[in-house]
């Protein structure tokens, strides 16, 4: 890992633009049946893994991010779900419990999140959306550092990135604050990274 530098920041921003373009066009070109099938069945190792965790952190898909909530709410392996929550635009990210059918509200970053008075939660396994990834667990997110800070504060939580297969790159440029993923789920495969799973 390297320290933050102007060159690295610019490199990651260029990758974000390229990978957002890829993701947008890939998702737009999926036909209706492919969209329905994507992220609707749990790979066997993931099903077993979910059964071992009390609270699973997920996210409410935004734009062309893969929507994994139907996958998680449709399985008995998940006993409780928590979604990211921001109290304000400058606040650290936390998680709050959410159940299917409960309202989601627009948060300060324009993403949908649980209502402010939903019970706080500390998930022990977290699915996070990706802009890009590599097979060693490198991740490119939106650039705000919310997930990296949360992961650093909760190192025991397992970290699973979710993205479309076209978001894979050879090597993600790494900063000293970037947290490695334990696994990546795409519409094609479940990729194990590192040795925590």
**94 inside domain:** yes
**Rounded Cα gap, residues 19 and 87, in angstroms:** 29
**37 inside domain:** yes
Domain that holds residue 82: 6-192
What's the domain count of the chain? 1
pLDDT of the residue at 193: 96
- 113 within 8 A of 83, measured Cβ to Cβ: yes
pLDDT in tens, 107-141: 999 999 999 999 999 999 999 999 999 999 999 99
pLDDT of the residue at 35: 65
What value does the mean pLDDT take over residues 19-44?
Answer: 83
**197 inside domain:** no
**76 inside domain:** yes
Residue 145: CA count within 13 A, CB half-sphere: 13
**83 inside domain:** yes
SS (H, E, C) the chain: CECCCHHHHHHHHHHHHHHHHHHHHHHHHCCHHHHHHCCCCCCHHHHHHHHCCCCEECCCCCCCCCCCHHHHHCCCCCCCEEEEEECCCCCCEEEEEECCCCCCEECCCCCEECCCCCCEECCCEEEEECCEECCCCCEECCCCCHHHHHHHHCCCCEEEEECCHHHECCCCCCECCCCCCCEEECCCCEEECCCCC
pLDDT of the residue at 177: 85
**107 inside domain:** yes
**Does residue 48 have a pLDDT over 80?**
yes
pLDDT of the residue at 45: 85
The CATH code of the domain that includes 28 is: 3.40.50.10420
**Mean pLDDT (the chain, rounded):** 91
**1 inside domain:** no
pLDDT of the residue at 1: 43
pLDDT of the residue at 37: 73
**80 inside domain:** yes
- 183 within 8 A of 161, measured Cβ to Cβ: yes
């Amino acid at each position: 890992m390297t320290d933050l530098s102007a060159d690295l920041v610019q490199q990651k921003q260029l990758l974000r633009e390229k990978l957002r373009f890829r993701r947008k066009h890939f998702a737009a070109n999926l036909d209706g049946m492919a969209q329905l099938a994507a992220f609707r069945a749990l790979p066997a190792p993931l099903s077993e893994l979910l059964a071992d965790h009390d609270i699973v952190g997920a996210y409410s898909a935004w734009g062309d991010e893969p929507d994994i909530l139907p996958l998680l709410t449709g399985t008995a392996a998940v006993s409780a779900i928590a979604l990211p929550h921001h109290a304000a635009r400058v606040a650290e990210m936390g998680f709050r419990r959410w159940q299917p059918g409960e309202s989601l509200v627009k948060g300060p970053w324009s993403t949908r999140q649980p209502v402010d008075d939903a019970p706080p939660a500390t998930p022990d396994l977290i699915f996070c959306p990706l802009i890009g990834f590599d097979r060693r667990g490198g991740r490119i997110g939106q650039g705000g550092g919310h997930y990296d800070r949360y992961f650093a504060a909760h190192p025991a939580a397992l970290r699973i990135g979710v993205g479309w297969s076209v978001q894979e790159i050879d090597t993600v440029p790494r900063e000293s604050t970037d947290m490695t993923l334990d696994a990546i789920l795409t519409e094609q495969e479940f990729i194990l990274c590192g040795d925590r799973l």
